[in-house]
Structure 1
Amino acid sequence: MPQQAPTPSTRQTELLEAAYQYALDHGLTDLSLRPLAQAIGSSPRVLLFLFKSKDGLVRALLARARAEELAFLDRARQPDRPAGLVPAVEGVWAWLAAKEHRPLLRLWAEAYARSLVQPDGVWAGFARATVEDWLGVLAGCQPQAERDSEDGAARRTLALAVLRGALLDLLATDDEKRITAAVAHQLALLRD
C-alpha cells in the first residue's frame, strides 16, 4: 500500500503560497533561496527544513501552479453537456488571453520549456502532464462519437497546438488583438 504524503503544516502552506506569489513575479529559472526567503519573511534554513531541498521547493511550486491550472480546467469540463470543441477553445482562449493570468502563464511556459530540455529531476514530466491534461479537457468537450474517433483526436490536438502557439506568441508580444483574431480564424477552419 503506497504511503500518503504527510499533510503540510500551516507554516509550510503559508510559505508555499508566498513563494508561489514570488515565483509568479520572478520565475523559477534563477530562483535563489536567500532572496526568496527574505522576500517572504523566512530564512533559507526554514525553507530547506520544510521542503527538504531547493528541488523539493521547486517541485512544490510546480505542483501549486499545476493545481491552479487544473482548477481552471475542471471548471471548463462539462462531461454531461459537451459544448463542442470550438466553443471550448473560445472559452479557454478568453481565459488564457486575460491579462491577470499572464504571470501564471509565464510560469507555465518556463516550466514547460525546462521540462523539455531537462527531462529528468525536478522538471520531469511537467510538459507531458500538461499536454495530457489539456487534451483530456478538450476531449471532454467533444461529443462522444467525435471524442472516440481518430479525427476527433486530431482535431483536439490541432486545437491544443493553436492554443499553445497563440499563448507563446501572446507572452512574447502582448499583441492580444492580433493573436485573438488569428485564433478566431483558425477556429472558423476547425468548424468545417
Structure 2
Amino acid sequence: MSPRVAAPSARQTELLEAAYRYVLAHGLAGLSLRPLATAVGSSPRVLLFLFGTKDGLVRALLARARADELALLDDLRRAGRPVGLAPAVERVWTWLAAAEHRPLLRLWGEAYGRSLVEPGGAWAGFARATVDDWLDVLAACQPRPERDGEDGAARRTLALAVLRGALLDLLATDDEQRVTAAVRHQLVLLGG
C-alpha cells in the first residue's frame, strides 16, 4: 500500500495561486522567498512550512504551470479534436500565439531551459515531461495508420519542433505575424 498524500490546504492552494501569478509576472530567475512572500501576503516561514523547501515551492509552481499547459492538451484529446497533424498544430499555434498566454509561455521557456542545464532539483524532468505530453497529444491527433511506425513518430517530432521553435522565436521577437506565416508555411509542407 502506497502512502497517502494529503490534499493541499485551502491556504496552501491560495498561496500557490498567488505565487503563480507572481512568477507569471516576474519569472523564476532569481526568485527570492522574501519578496515573493511579501507580494502574496505571507512570510517566508509560512511558505517553507507549506512547501517544505524553496525547491518544493518551485516544483509546485512548475506543476501549476504544467496544469495550464495540460488543459490545452486535454482539449485536443476530447471529441471533435482535429484529425491530422496539420489541423492539430494550427489549433495549438493559435493558442500559443495569443498575447494573453505570453506570461505562461515565458515561464515555460524559462523552466524548459533550466531543466536542460540544471537537470536535478526542482527542474528535474520538466523538459522531458513536456516533450512526452506534446508527442502523446499529437499522436492522438494522427489517424491510426499514420500514427504507427517510425514515419508517424518522425512527423510528430517535426510538428513539435516547429511549434517549439516558433514559440521561442515569438517570445524573443514578439513578431506574431512573421512567425505565424512561417508556421502556416510549414503546415502546408507537413500536410494532414
TM-score, scaled relative to structure 1: 0.97
Q: Read off the aligned partner of 2:55 and give its amino acid letter.
A: D
2:105 matches 1:105? yes
Q: Distance in 1 between matches of 2:182 and 2:109?
A: 20
RMSD, aligned CA: 1.3
Q: Is the 8 A contact 1:59 1:122 kept in 2?
A: yes
Give the equivalent residue in structure 2 for 1:49.
49
CA offset digits 1:36-57 (Å, max 9, x no partner):
0000100101101111111110
Map 1:172-183 → 2, pairs under 5 A = 172-183=172-183
Q: Read off the aligned partner of 2:117 and give its amino acid letter.
A: V
Unaligned 5+ segments in structure 1 are none
Give the equivalent residue in structure 2 for 1:160.
160
Q: Distance in 2 between matches of 1:98 and 1:156?
A: 23
Q: Name segments (4+ residues, structure 1) moved above 6 Å.
A: none
Q: Distance in 1 between matches of 2:62 and 2:188?
A: 34
Q: Distance in 2 between matches of 1:97 and 1:49?
A: 38
Q: Read off the aligned partner of 2:138 and give its amino acid letter.
A: L
1:82 Cα deviation from its structure 2 partner: 5.5
Q: Is the 8 A contact 1:33 1:54 kept in 2?
A: yes
Unaligned 5+ segments in structure 2 are none
Aligned residues: 192
Q: Distance in 2 between matches of 1:158 and 1:4?
A: 40
Give the equivalent residue in structure 1 for 2:171.
171
**CA separation of 1:81/1:48 partners in 2, compared to 1, >3 Å: closer, same or farther?**
closer
Q: Is the 8 A contact 1:78 1:141 kept in 2?
A: no
Q: Distance in 2 between matches of 1:126 and 1:82?
A: 26
2:83 matches 1:119? no
Q: Distance in 2 between matches of 1:32 and 1:80?
A: 44
Q: Is the 8 A contact 2:95 2:101 kept in 1?
A: yes
TM-score, scaled relative to structure 2: 0.97
Give the equivalent residue in structure 1 for 2:20.
20
Give the equivalent residue in structure 2 for 1:39.
39
Q: Distance in 2 between matches of 1:138 and 1:110?
A: 23
- Of the structure 1 ranges 95-104 and 79-88, higher mean CA displacement relative to structure 2 is found in 79-88
1:78 Cα deviation from its structure 2 partner: 3.7
